[in-house]
Amino acid sequence: MSRASEIYPRARVSLREVGLRDGLQLVKAFPSTAGKAEWIKRAHGAGVRHFEVGSFLPASRMPQFADLRELIGVIAGLEGARSAALALNERGADDAMASGVDEVVCVVSATEEHSQANMRRSRAAAIDLVRSTAEKAAGAPKRPLVMAAISMAFGCSIAGPVDPAEVVRLSEACLEAGADIVGIADTVGFCGPKQVEELCEDIGKLCGDTPYSVHLHDTRGMGIANAAAALNAGARILDGSIGGLGGCPFAPGATGNVVFEDLVYLCETMGFATGIDLEALFPVREILKTEMPDEPLYGALARAGLPATVTYRH
C-alpha cells in the first residue's frame, strides 16, 4: 500500500477543507489567528480531518498566511487531523520541511502561460520543484506527503482549451519525479460533468491503486454536478471550502470553490460516508461572518437547510 493510500484510503471519500488557503487568497480582510484556530477546531469537531491552511510565502506578499506555522501547530494537536500547505518555490519547500506540515502541495500548471503568470517559471521547472521537494521530504525528520496539483487542468483562462492528454502527461511526470499523489484542478470553473468524468477516468488509469484528488470551482454553477461526476468516475478525494470562499489571483474570473457543506451533503446522499456531521459544521460559518463580515458566503444547504425527511450517515 502506498503512503498516499494509507492517508487517503480508497474505500472511503476524503474531503479536504481548503478555505484557509484558497478561500483567503483574494479576501480584503482575513480572520485573526484566534478566529482561524476556532474555525479549524469547530470543523474538526464536526468530523473534518484534512485542512489546507496556507502557502509558504513571505508575509509581506501574503499577510493572510503569516500565521501558517501556528495553524499547523493547532492541527497537530487535534486527533486524526492533517495539515497541508503550498510550496511554490525552493524556499517554500525548505520552510515546509521545517514546519512539520503533514502534506506539501506543489503546483504544476497545465499551460506554460499560466505557469509563468502564477509562479514565473516553466512547467519543466515546476516539475523539478516537485522532484526536489520529494527528495527533501524523504530526508525530513517528519516526512510529509508530497502532492503535485495540476492547475488549469480543464481549461485555462489565459491560454484557452487544455488537451486532457497533456494533463495525464504532466501527472505522470510528477509521479515519476517522486510525488506521492497528484491532483487535478478546474481552477477557473471552465468544465462540465462530461469533461470531469473523462479526465478522472484517465487519471484513475494512470494512478491505479494510488488515490488522486479533484479540486473544483463553482464559477459557472457546475461545481456540485462536477463533483458528482468525479465521484462516479472513481475519485475519492475532493476539495471544498466552507461558505464557498476562494479564487486565484492569477486566474482572471475565478470565483469560489465548491461549497464544502454542499459537498458533504452530495457525498452522503450518493452513499459515500464522510464522517462529517453537517449540523455541527454549519456553525463554522458564523466564525467567517464575524471575522469577515464583508465577504459573501454561499451554499444551497445553508440557505434551504437539511430536508426533514432525509437522513444521512456521518
Q: Are 271 and 237 in contact (CB under 8 A)?
A: no
Closest CA to 22 of 250, 263, 231: 250
Closest CA to 112 of 174, 160, 165, 56: 160
Lookup: cell for 167:
494533463
3-state SS record for 250-289: CCCCCCCECEHHHHHHHHHHCCCCCCCCHHHHCCHHHHHH
Considering 156, 200, 207, 248, which one is annotated as catalytic?
Answer: 248
Cα separation, 231 vs 13, in Å, equals 9
Q: Are 82 and 51 in contact (CB under 8 A)?
A: yes
DSSP 151-172: ETTT-BTTTB---HHHHHHHHH
Task: Clarify whether 191 is annotated catalytic.
Answer: no
Cα separation, 117 vs 13, in Å, equals 33
- Return phi, psi of residue 183, to 5°: -135, 150
3-state SS record for 20-55: CCHHHCCCCCCCCHHHHHHHHHHHHHCCCCEEEEEE
Question: Where in 112-162 does DSSP place strands (E)?
Answer: 145-151
Terminal CA-to-CA distance of the chain, rounded, Å?
Answer: 26
Q: Which positions are annotated as active-site residues?
A: 248
